[in-house]
Amino acid sequence: MIKPYRIIFLAILVMSSCKSSDNQGNLCINQGDFEAILTETGELQAVRAKAIMMPYIGGMYGYQFKITGMLQHGSLVKAGDSIIQIDPASVLKYQIEQENILEVEIANLNKLIVEQKGKAEALEANLQESQADYNLNRLELEKYEFESQRKKEIKQLEFQQAEINLEMAKKAIELEEKIAENSLKIQRIRVERIKSNIDHSIITREKLTIRSPIDGVLQIDKSWRTGQLLKVGDEIYQNQKIALVPDLTEMKVKSTINEADIGKVSTGQRVMARLEAFPEMAFEGRIAEIGKLSYNKEWESIVKIFDLEIVLNDADPVLKPGMTVSCNIYYAELHDVYYVENSCMQRGNGNYYLYLNNNDTWEKREVEIGPRNNRYTVIYGNYRKGTELMLPDMAVMAQVH
C-alpha cells in the first residue's frame, strides 16, 4: 500500500507514463494479437539436387580425362539434356585394340576347331584299326584251340595285346574329346570376354556424353587445382564431382540459430523469407529441420550455433541457389492475449513482477509470463485491458510494495 503523502508524486508519474490506454506504446496492460520473431540469415538451396560425376569406367581406359564440351554455368537444363562431353579418345583406342585382338582370337578358335577335327579323325582311324586287329586276333585264337600249348599261349598274349590296344584307342578318343571340349571352352570364353570388352567400350563412350538426370540449373564445380570453375580442356578423374543440378521446383534455406534461441524454435514454425537482392519480395515457409548438434560459429568463437533448414512453400523463378536470404521466424503467434512493455517487468528471485494500479491503489504483483519479443512480454492471468503500470525504478522511488 502507498502512504497518502505519495499520492501527488505518483499522479505525476502516471501522467508522464500513460497518456492513453488505447496506445500500445504506453505503460498499460495491452490486449490483442502478439507476435515474436527471430531474424536469421541463410543461403538459398534446392531441396533436391543431383551431383554430376565423372563416371567410373575402369582402369583399362586410363585415369585422366579431358572435358571437351560443357554448357555454361547457370544454364537451365531438362532431364536427358547433354551437359558435359568427356574426350572418348582413350576409350576408342582401347576399343580398336580389342577389335584387332578379337580377329586374332577368332582365327585361333577356327584353327583349333580344324586341328581338333583332324585329331579326332586320326584317333577314329586308329580305333578302327585297333578294333580290326582285335577281331582278327580273336578269330586266330579260336583257330589255335587244337595247337600246342606254347603256340596257344603266344596267340593268347597277342590277343591280350590287341585287346589292350583297343581299350587304349577308346580311352585316347575319350581323353581327346575332353581336352578338345575344355580347349574350345577356354578359347570361346576368351573370345566372349573380348567381345564383352568391346561392348563395354561402346557403352562407355556413350557414358562420356553426360546428361542431366533431372530438370534444373547447371552449377559447375571448381577445379581443385585452380580454384576456378571447371572449363573445356581441364583434366578430371574418374568419380570426380563435376557439377550439380538443383531442382528449382522446391527450395529451402540453410541457416543457423544461436544456442541461446534454440528453445524458441521447433519444426513447423512459420517463416517469412526475403531475398537480399529483392527485399520487397517475401516467401512463406516452415522450419523443416533443426540440427541435433551445436558447433562453434567461428574458429575461435565461443558462440555456439545449430543448423536450421527452412523449406519454402512455393517456388518462384527469382529464387536461385546461393542467394542470401533473411528469415523472420515466428516462434510465437498468439491471439487475444495480454502483454506489457518489457520495461515494466521486474525480475527477482527467479520470478517476474509488475507494478499496477488496482482501483487507484498501486501494488506489486507476481505474474506468469509467456513469450517475449524485442518490445513486449506476454502475461497470463485475469487482467483488465488498459490497467496502468509503473516502471520498476519509479516504483522503488515511490516505495510501492
CA distance 399 to 394: 8
- Supply the DSSP string of 196-213, one letter for each residue: HHHHHHHHHHHHTEEE-S
Contact 354, 365 (CB under 8 A): yes
Residues 6 or more apart from 149 whose CB is under 8 A from it? Answer: none
- DSSP symbol at 110: H
Contact 243, 72 (CB under 8 A): no
Contact 37, 375 (CB under 8 A): no
Q: How confident is the model over 160-186, as pLDDT tens digits?
A: 998 999 899 999 999 999 999 999 999
To the question of pTM greater than 0.85 for the whole model, the response is no
Q: Which residue do the cell numbers 590277343 mark?
A: 159
Contact 198, 91 (CB under 8 A): no
Which CATH code of 3.30.470.20, 3.30.930.10, 3.40.630.30, 2.40.50.100 fits the domain covering 58-89+207-246?
2.40.50.100
Cell numbers at 196, concatenated: 564383352
Q: Mean pLDDT across the stretch 356-373?
A: 91
Contact 396, 348 (CB under 8 A): no
The residues that bridge with 380 in the sheet, in sequence order, are 368
Mean pLDDT lowest for which of 127-141, 181-195, 280-294?
127-141
Tell me the pLDDT band of 8, cut-offs 50, 70 and 90. Answer: very low
pLDDT for position 154: 84
Tell me the pLDDT band of 26, cut-offs 50, 70 and 90. Answer: low
Q: How confident is the model over 275-304, as pLDDT tens digits?
A: 999 999 999 999 999 999 999 988 888 899
| Coil, helix or strand at residue 264 | helix
CA distance 313 to 326: 16
Which CATH code of 3.40.50.300, 2.60.40.1930, 2.40.30.170, 3.40.710.10 fits the domain covering 4-44+250-397?
2.40.30.170
Cell numbers at 210, concatenated: 553426360
User: Rg of the chain's alpha carbons, rounded to an integer?
Assistant: 47
Instruction: State the number of CA atoms in the 13 A half-sphere of 135 facing the CB.
Output: 6
